[in-house]
């Protein structure tokens, strides 16, 4: 989903409920503190202190590309060539692209080392695509965030942020509104999930500035909707427990046991709905975890008690559902797992994630250790997909994992579509065979 916390906000707002002794949360907080101190030093004209603060921030939280990029640009501007080049090498290793023509790097332009690292970056961030387009959404103004497949009906459902509806796409290629715009109080629709056994389509609804008819009074409104899979009739609206500042649901999944989970990036919580139920209010499954900052995609493990969760700020997390214990799964040295939006399991030791918090956005395979407590390898599968927009959520189609691509978040200014940009057309893309 569109993240509540953009990378810019992450640089200036401290985290909450920091757990003493948790190295990941503590290092992230140290980095944020150092960054704010560097901004203060720069404001007062102390360049040396600003550079030292930026260096400490990037070293404290090396998996956050925004910090490393900021250090590279500032070091280059202030003539610290070696530091700037080392930072660009680090940034490239993280998979983050950067512009060699950026005026901040003007002093480095004649240095052959800069040219070399620029070539390495171009190769490391080059387009990568072996996907197969399963569906192209005909309505160019349909801002699709999530999708779900109904195997029995051989049809796809797609959400619509701006139009506040759900569209169904039949096997013959025809499409129609399954849940019309705003019906039953729908706000922008994000994640979708099919519970075929119980005949339910679960829909995440969250008020956002990009939807039609939005006003400031709508902020923080979010709910889960259960619609009849055959008719589209409303079966129930599931409210969320009260939370200061409201909610922002983004994704929903149905486990093999029929339990429904939804992630809230604003609270940030994970909610649960027991199998077969459509209650008036969702249960809180996990809350108050220091590592929860902007919770996104979820992927349950085969054991039924473990869930892998993408936190946009803190990376890939491992949650023990019975106890609510949350632990981080650090990436391999020099890599990063921040900025993951969609997440799906693809076997007992493999996850697939949509990492749209780095540039260019990419889809990655995450290979886990036998006990599921370590990340052994990160493999890019897709990168810088054609057609514009960004990839968002993952789902499972008839032949395996499918990614939603072409989401036009960059086409808005203050919630209004920009007239100067072409509107990308959303597609559903089957991941390449090597992802399996």
Q: What is the DSSP letter of 324?
A: T
Same domain, 39 and 143: no
Q: Spell 376-395 as b/e; 16+ CB within 10 A means b.
A: eebeebbbebeebbbbbbbb
Domain that holds residue 269: 132-435
| Residue 1: inside a domain | no
Same domain, 114 and 149: no
Q: Rounded to the nearest 10 degrees, what angle do helices 23-43 and 65-77 cross at?
A: 30
Query: What does the alpha-carbon distance between residue 254 and residue 196 come to, in Å, rounded to a whole number?
Result: 10
DSSP string of 345-381, one letter each residue: E-STTEEEEEETTSSS-EEEEEEE-TTSSSEEEEEEE
Same domain, 323 and 193: yes
pLDDT tens-place string over residues 28-80: 888 989 999 999 999 999 999 999 999 999 999 899 999 999 999 999 999 99
pLDDT tens-place string over residues 205-232: 999 999 999 999 999 999 999 999 999 9
DSSP-based three-state secondary structure for 294: coil
Report the CATH number at residue 335. 2.120.10.30
Q: What's residue 23's pLDDT?
A: 55
Final residue in a domain of this structure, among 102, 124, 146: 124
Partners of residue 150 on adjacent β-strands: 155
Q: What is the DSSP letter of 184?
A: G
Nearest to 339 by CA among 358, 322, 326, 367: 358
Same domain, 25 and 52: yes
Q: What's residue 29's pLDDT?
A: 85
Final residue in a domain of this structure, among 89, 105, 124: 124
| Residue 7: inside a domain | no
Q: What is the DSSP letter of 339?
A: T
Same domain, 28 and 73: yes
Q: Which helix (H) or strand (E) holds 86?
A: helix 81-93
Contacts of 423 (CB under 8 A, 6+ apart): 140, 141, 408, 411, 417
Same domain, 181 and 37: no
Report the CATH number at residue 99. 1.25.40.10
Nearest to 125 by CA among 361, 405, 339: 361
Q: What is the mean pLDDT of residues 389-415?
A: 95
Same domain, 161 and 103: no
| Residue 6: inside a domain | no
| Residue 11: inside a domain | no
């Amino acid at each position: 989903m569109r993240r509540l916390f953009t990378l810019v906000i992450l640089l200036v707002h401290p985290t909450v409920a920091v757990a003493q002794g948790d190295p990941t949360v503590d290092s992230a907080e140290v980095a944020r503190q150092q960054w704010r101190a560097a901004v203060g030093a720069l404001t007062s004209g102390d360049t040396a202190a600003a550079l030292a603060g930026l260096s400490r921030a990037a070293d404290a939280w090396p998996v956050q590309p925004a910090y490393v990029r900021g250090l590279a640009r500032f070091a280059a501007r202030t003539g610290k060539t070696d530091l700037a080049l080392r930072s660009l090498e680090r940034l490239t290793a993280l998979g983050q692209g950067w512009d060699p023509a950026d005026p901040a790097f003007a002093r480095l332009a004649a240095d052959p080392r800069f040219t070399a690292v620029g070539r390495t970056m171009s190769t490391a961030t080059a387009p990568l695509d072996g996907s197969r387009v399963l569906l192209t959404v005909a309505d160019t103004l349909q801002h699709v965030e999530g999708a779900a497949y109904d195997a029995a009906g051989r049809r796809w459902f797609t959400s619509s942020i701006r139009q506040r509806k759900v569209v169904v796409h039949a096997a013959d290629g025809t499409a129609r509104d399954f849940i019309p715009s705003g019906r039953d109080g729908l706000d922008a629709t994000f994640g979708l999930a099919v519970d075929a056994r119980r005949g339910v389509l679960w829909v995440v609804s969250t008020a956002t500035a990009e939807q039609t008819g939005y006003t400031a009074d709508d902020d923080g409104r979010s709910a889960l909707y259960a619609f009849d899979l055959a008719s589209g009739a409303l079966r129930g609206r599931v409210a969320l427990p009260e939370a200061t500042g409201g909610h922002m649901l983004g994704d929903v999944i149905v486990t093999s046991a029929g339990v429904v989970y939804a992630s809230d990036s604003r609270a940030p919580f994970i909610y649960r709905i027991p199998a077969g139920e459509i209650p008036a209010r969702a249960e809180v499954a996990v809350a108050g975890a220091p590592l929860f900052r902007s919770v996104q995609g979820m992927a349950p493990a085969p054991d039924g008690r473990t869930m892998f969760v993408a936190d946009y700020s803190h990376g890939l997390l491992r949650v023990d559902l019975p106890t609510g214990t949350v632990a981080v799964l650090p990436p391999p040295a020099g890599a990063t797992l921040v900025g993951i939006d969609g997440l799906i399991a693809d076997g007992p030791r493999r996850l697939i994630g949509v990492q749209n918090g780095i540039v260019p956005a990419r889809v990655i395979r995450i290979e886990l250790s036998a006990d599921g407590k370590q990340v052994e390898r990160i493999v890019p599968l897709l990168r810088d997909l054609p057609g514009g927009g960004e990839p968002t959520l993952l789902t499972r189609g008839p032949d395996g994992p499918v990614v939603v691509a072409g989401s036009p978040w960059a086409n808005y200014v203050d919630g209004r579509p920009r007239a100067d940009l072409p509107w990308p057309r959303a597609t559903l893309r089957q991941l390449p065979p090597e992802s399996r």
